[in-house]
Structure 1
């Protein structure tokens, strides 16, 4: 797990999803939407919102097979302030 995730000030759901994906990858589990959905404890809408938030910030990407990849933290985007 890259501690830099906590510096992005993302939602609790997005941070939780990152931790879940990191755990799945470290165990050798397949980090698919379906696998996440089985472990997720709130609504599917919140899971999808967390996935979109992580993707928008450059934290995750999807592989050709649909599984999730965690990108290296140098690719992560800080929250843009106006």
Structure 2
């Protein structure tokens, strides 16, 4: 899950290469929602054994209320720190 800032705009996506995909968002290499709203902080992520399970989880999270998403993030990352450096 990417955010523009603490309690800011959220983006939920799925990828097979998290480091590369977050870098693309941070460098604004791809036009679209995250570029337009400056959503480039990796604030939460989870790993899945298959792409199919990751896509199912992504769809479920996109259906969640904002409050639930905030609680999920703050359960692991209360300050909404950028987790991207921890991946490198």
Higher helix share: 1
Q: Fold match, TM over 0.5?
A: no
Which range, TM-score by smaller chain? Answer: under 0.3
TM-score scaled by length of structure 2:
0.26
TM-score scaled by length of structure 1:
0.26
